[in-house]
Structure formats: C-alpha cells, structure tokens
Structure 1
Amino acid sequence: MNKSNQVYVFNGQKSGLASAVFSSYRQAEFWIKRNYLSGILIEYPLNESCYDWAKAQGHFKERSAIDRAPIFIAKFVSAYQRNWHFANGQLVENIDG
C-alpha cells in the first residue's frame, strides 16, 4: 500500500471491535508496547474498502454471485493485508501480505 494511503487498526485479543486506529506503524507499536497489549494490528487502505483494494491489486477475483453479496463484502479482509500479532506488548508474529 502507498504509505500515505493506509491506517493501522488494532483489535485486542478476543475483541470483536477495533480499539485504536493509527496513521503509522510506529505510533501503533509504541502504544501497544506501552500498554502491554495482546491482539492483531492490521494495515488497512484509507478511503477504500479491503474488498475493492484486493480486487484492484489482483489479489481477489469474483467467481460467483456470493462474491458480490453484501454480507461477503462487509466481512471481507484480504490475506494480502500486512498484519502483526502481539502478545503482552511484544511482537510475536509478522505476516506481510
């Protein structure tokens, strides 16, 4: 993703909703470490859905009507989005999409 066109969203462990959004990875990492948090930090495109981003990047192709269904699009997250797993404020896994 273009460095000025993404945000970093943190979801705490066992949380269904995000608890923080940052404009840089470094800001997010500092906050996570300072508070000894566990969860996942995911890079999201700014002003574009994950669904549209993945299609534009060639990471996803619609194959059936279900791939265009509102319920599918609303829950879509791409495996190609960069993400980092933290436990007690420490990076334990870095998955680059």
Structure 2
Amino acid sequence: MSDLTSVYLFSAQKSNFSSAVFSNYLQAKDWIENNYLSGVLIEYPLDQSCYDWAINTGHFKEKTPIDRAPVFIAKFVSAYQRNWHFEHGELLVHTDV
C-alpha cells in the first residue's frame, strides 16, 4: 500500500491537457528542467477531486447554487493548490499557499 497523497501534473503553455504525471516534485522538476519546458506544474490531491479537497480543507465554501453545479465542479481548481510556473526549464513563480 502506498502513502502517496498527491501527484504532480505538468501542463505546457497553451495546452488543453497535461502531458506528464509524477509522484513527487523533484522528479517533475528534473524532467521540466532537462527538457527546457514552459508551463505549470500543479500538485493535485490523490483519490479526491480538487473541489472536494478544497471543501474538506476549508479553502472553499459553497455560497450559491452554482457552487454545486456540475459544470462548476468539473472545472474547479483551487488557488490553494501548490503550483510552480516554468519558462524554458527555469522556475519563475512558486505558489505555496
């Protein structure tokens, strides 16, 4: 059984989909740097949605009916998820809320 609680997804600039998933930050960072990639690396909770994670951690509270709408939940990503922005393999911005 694994103790893994999150994964790291990399999405290139102007891409609609992620191109890589890593089990730890250092592997992801090395891959991004070695390939001189530009994009964002985001930590995602494992085995739960970003929406549920944000509610369970107190980072989001439902205020209106739209907050429970399928279209809202399906597109939800929390600003409280850790993320790193890279340009040509170099770390530009790190958000660790």
Short-chain TM bin? over 0.9
RMSD: 0.9
Q: How many angstroms apart in 2 are the aligned matches of 1:70 and 1:26? A: 34
**Which residues of structure 1 form unaligned runs of 5+?**
none
Give the structure 1 partner of residue 96 of structure 2: 96
* Structure 1 segments (4+ residues) deviating >6 Å: none
**Which residues of structure 2 form unaligned runs of 5+?**
none
Q: Aligned runs of 1:15-94 on 2, under 5 Å?
A: 15-94=15-94
Percent identical: 64
The number of equivalent residue pairs is: 95
Q: How many angstroms apart in 1 are the aligned matches of 2:51 and 2:20? A: 21
Secondary structure of residue in 2 paired with 1:67: helix
Deviations 1:43-87 (A, max 9, x none): 000000000000000000000110000000000000000000000
